[in-house]
Structure 1
Amino acid sequence: MKYAFRIIILIQFLFVACSQSSDSPNLVFNEAAKSRVDSTLTALVEAGKVAGISALIYEKGEERYFQAVGYADKEQQKPMSRETMVQIYSMTKPITGTALMKLYEKGMFELDDPLEKYLPEFSNMKVYQGVDENGEMILTEADRSISVRDITRHTAGFPNRDNIPGLSEVMKEKDARNYNNTLASMAEKIGSTPLWFQPGTQWEYGLCVDVQAYLVEKLSGMPYGEFVNKEILEPLGMNETMYYVPEEYRDRMAAVYERQADGTLARQIDSIAYRFSYNHWPLTPGGFGLSSTIDDYLKFTKMLLNEGKHGDQTILQPSTVELMRTNHLPDSIKERSWLPNRGQVGFGIDFAVRVAPPQDAEENQGSVGEFFWDGALSTLFFIDPENELIAIMFVQLTPYDGIGLHKAFRDAVYGPWKPSIN
């Protein structure tokens, strides 16, 4: 079935490549691209890869495309639509980064300040060096303090794996992301866990953005969820983006589908799928937790594309947006976990940032300067400043994109790969 799906996509690409378009030659998303995306979304649903999927493309000041295919809830025959709400998971992170950078603009911190200056929970950190013959952790002093910049680019050293001898057991015992923790108790648990590596020496995805949320709370003197609502969601009119989803919205929530070993989909039971979103929890994490609609998330991305403005609202200054979408990973950081799987990218402030064009047809398509991120249930957005283009794709599929979904979508938007002239 995998090869049949690829053949279908290839035939569709060849067909639209031969078609003529009357669109402006300056548009990335022309009629050929529309046909490719239509075909890709339809093929994904018809092949049983996803239950339902939607995509929205905005380019050069106009919406160029919206399509929803399949079901938000197949068992209840609820079609995917513009009104469908999904759990965006890590697409929460750029919103948290935006909240933090609002305080940066007020002069409340500098990126290279030691984190402990504001959060004493992160003073005198110890760094893991392995275990001794008795299985006890060997620890050493940190070479330097964790900086604020470290928590914006995932170089703080926080452990985030279940296979580190000794250290993973401590992580499990601390249970920092337990929903019953407040951000303060979460920070205490993270700060009392040894670092996995020296700050600033590796890229390792994890708890950094949750710590950003606590930093926002401490600096602003306001509960984090309240700050985000007041400073970002409400000014942008993102009235359908929220941590807790009340009863009146729940008939619009997409079901979560889990891909089985044989490639079929099984609907995740509600008590698991919506455990965070349908309950009031003390934890308001910066790294996940929001549910949203595709139009609400478009408002956020349009603000970023428009250098911090949306309509008559100014959320950030242009220089701050530029700082966020600039690569902050120096070449000296060689160990980058799975980040290279995203393409020729570095990392800014809560975004991956494309620093070079794709080298071959196997790499994710995109333009240099693009900044983007995705979510655990396989959602995706990317912002392409060079082409003034935004693409958002909503789906609720776990495990995270094991079917090449993001590559197929990017290929459909940009067309077949061509070697860079540079």
Structure 2
Amino acid sequence: MKTSLKRYFTIGIGFAFLLFSCQKEEKQNELIVNEQAIARLDSTLEAYVNSGNVAGISALIFEKDQEVYFNAFGFADRENQIPMDRNTIVKIYSMTKPITGTALMTLWEEGKFQLDDPLENYAPEFANMKVYQGLDDQGKMIFGDAERPISIRDITRHTAGFPNRNDIPGLSELMAEKDARSFENPLTTMAEKMGSTPLWFQPGTQWEYGLSVDVQAFLVERISGKPYGEYVREKVLDPLGMAETRYFLPEADRGRFAAAYQRTGEGQLDRIPDSTANVFNFNQWPLTPGGFGLTSTLDDYMTFARMLARKGEINGTRILNPETIALMATNHLPDSVTERSWLPSKGRVGFGIDFAVRTDPPKTAEEMNGVVGEFFWDGAASTLFWVDPKNELVAGLFVQLFPYDGISLHKNFRDAVYGKYVPVAKTQ
């Protein structure tokens, strides 16, 4: 009897352990983008189209390196009834920036520079910078000396001090006169014009979005000795198979190019004239900016994003080392940088190398949803991507809508992916 009881007890323990293991494995295999999330995503995106606030929209999500969601709603070209699709080409604007940062960091891996090196060591155009200090009684600008040189880290995290607003008395007018980012300027001319324009604030003292990533492209060109467009194609785009990520869009592919729309009121969209919206991409200009200008498809851009999620490698091709990706996705803003413009609107974030980096979870349902450790960026036409290392999730959202996300599109898309924020109940 004792032997029999012992046998049954052992079997019971084994069964319980097996059940626990199965439950643990099942929990580990649970996906963020499950059936409920897919339903939320579909209804959220379709509602924006049905309400008339978006002409066309698409999204692509990978989780555990497997595609878990794709859908597209509405029209890439509403007037010609061309549906938004997987191969629709859009202007990604500032989602160009992480690609530029990746190109720059290939040179960092080769030991060509250190992040805290003065920029002027490689680009004398930025030596002996002056800093704006306001206007005197006669309305003339007052300048002081920069307290330290601009570092390369400054241009990767937007703390260089470059002016980028039209409301700085005197300095904004000078910036417009210089017109450093004219499409007619090659990067060397752009750098000369920027270097001869005083900084708005002391390097490293505040976060102000601007022309820093265009300077990164110039730096790549200067250090590598190759035109930036060639270098980024050779080191990043071609190895990843991103043939449809380009500055210049050839005639043969323009039928897939999404129109741009301006939202003028609830349910009201005006098409931006193609002659205005497409002037950069339908012509081959001397300027190859690092901060904007590329066009792409969802699959192309998500290949890039998945490379980041896979720590620098995809499909047997390594672009950067894992340690470099980790460095790029680390917050580089010290607590002393308290003036951060509109960056806090993106959630509780810092900034790494051309990405916002989420440092804390949301504390209210109104804050932008996201997971600590996530890194991301977006574009002027309301496009968005992020990499969530914790959940091994990569998401991309394509749309061509101005002004930038005035309809909580990014928040609602994030809420559809993760579920709406639920506050943690306080214990007594």
Per the shorter chain, which TM-score range?
Answer: over 0.9
Residue number among 61, 65, 84 corresponding to 1:61 in the alignment? 65
- 2:273 is matched by which residue type in structure 1? I
Shift of 1:56: 0.5
Residues 324-403 of structure 1 aligned to structure 2 (within 5 Å):
324-403=328-407
- 1:72 is matched by which residue type in structure 2? A
Q: Structure 1 residue 184 and structure 2 residue 192: aligned?
A: no
- 1:131 is matched by which residue type in structure 2? L
Question: Paired residue for 1:257?
Answer: 261
Larger Rg: 2
Q: Structure 1 residue 121 and structure 2 residue 125: aligned?
A: yes
Q: Distance in 2 between matches of 1:369 and 1:301?
A: 15
Residue number among 70, 77, 87 corresponding to 1:73 in the alignment? 77
Cα deviation per residue 1:2-41 (whole Å; 9 max; x = unaligned)? Answer: xxxxxxxxxxxxxxxxxxxx99763111111000000001
Question: Paired residue for 2:241?
Answer: 237
- 1:62 is matched by which residue type in structure 2? Q
- 1:26 is matched by which residue type in structure 2? E
Cα deviation per residue 1:271-294 (whole Å; 9 max; x = unaligned)? Answer: 001010100100000000000000
Question: Paired residue for 1:12?
Answer: none
Residue number among 159, 173, 198 corresponding to 1:155 in the alignment? 159
Cα deviation per residue 1:87-137 (whole Å; 9 max; x = unaligned)? Answer: 000000000000000000000000000000000000000000000111111
Q: Structure 1 residue 27 and structure 2 residue 37: aligned?
A: no
Q: Structure 1 residue 167 and structure 2 residue 171: aligned?
A: yes
Q: Distance in 1 between matches of 2:27 and 2:83?
A: 31
Q: Distance in 1 between matches of 2:267 and 2:218?
A: 40
- Cα gap change, 1:200/1:81 in structure 2, threshold over 3 Å: closer, same or farther? same
Residue number among 269, 280, 287 corresponding to 2:284 in the alignment? 280
Paired residue secondary structure (2:76): strand
Shift of 1:416: 1.4
Shift of 1:419: 2.6
CA RMSD in angstroms, aligned pairs only: 1.3
Q: Count matched residues.
A: 401
Cα deviation per residue 1:120-177 (whole Å; 9 max; x = unaligned)? Answer: 0000000000001111111000000000000000000000000000100100000011
User: TM-score w.r.t. structure 1 length?
Assistant: 0.94
Q: Distance in 2 between matches of 1:410 and 1:262?
A: 22
- Cα gap change, 1:107/1:39 in structure 2, threshold over 3 Å: closer, same or farther? same
Q: Distance in 1 between matches of 2:266 and 2:159?
A: 37
Q: Structure 1 residue 44 and structure 2 residue 45: aligned?
A: no
Residues 85-164 of structure 1 aligned to structure 2 (within 5 Å):
85-164=89-168
Q: Distance in 1 between matches of 2:415 and 2:130?
A: 44
The 8 Å contact of residues 117 and 152 in structure 2, kept in 1 or not, is answered as yes
Q: Structure 1 residue 295 and structure 2 residue 309: aligned?
A: no
The 8 Å contact of residues 53 and 266 in structure 2, kept in 1 or not, is answered as no
User: TM-score w.r.t. structure 2 length?
Assistant: 0.92
- 1:414 is matched by which residue type in structure 2? Y
Q: Distance in 1 between matches of 2:93 and 2:273?
A: 18
The 8 Å contact of residues 75 and 82 in structure 2, kept in 1 or not, is answered as yes
Shift of 1:252: 0.3
Shift of 1:420: 5.2
The 8 Å contact of residues 51 and 267 in structure 2, kept in 1 or not, is answered as no
- 1:27 is matched by which residue type in structure 2? L
Q: Distance in 1 between matches of 2:217 and 2:347?
A: 28
Q: Distance in 2 between matches of 1:419 and 1:62?
A: 30
The 8 Å contact of residues 125 and 141 in structure 1, kept in 2 or not, is answered as yes
> Hey, which bits of structure 1, 4+ residues long, moved more than 3 A?
22-25
The 8 Å contact of residues 23 and 30 in structure 1, kept in 2 or not, is answered as no
Q: Distance in 2 between matches of 1:360 and 1:30?
A: 24
Cα deviation per residue 1:177-196 (whole Å; 9 max; x = unaligned)? Answer: 10000000000111100000
Q: Distance in 2 between matches of 1:42 and 1:411?
A: 15
Q: Distance in 1 between matches of 2:102 and 2:188?
A: 20
The answer for unaligned runs of 5 or more in structure 2 is 1-25
- 1:388 is matched by which residue type in structure 2? E
The 8 Å contact of residues 72 and 79 in structure 1, kept in 2 or not, is answered as yes
Question: Paired residue for 1:6?
Answer: none
The answer for unaligned runs of 5 or more in structure 1 is 1-21
The 8 Å contact of residues 54 and 393 in structure 1, kept in 2 or not, is answered as yes
Residue number among 400, 409, 413 corresponding to 1:409 in the alignment? 413
Paired residue secondary structure (1:211): helix
Paired residue secondary structure (2:303): helix
Cα deviation per residue 1:283-323 (whole Å; 9 max; x = unaligned)? Answer: 00000000000000011001000000011100000000000
Q: Distance in 2 between matches of 1:188 and 1:349?
A: 24
The 8 Å contact of residues 357 and 420 in structure 1, kept in 2 or not, is answered as no
- 1:259 is matched by which residue type in structure 2? R
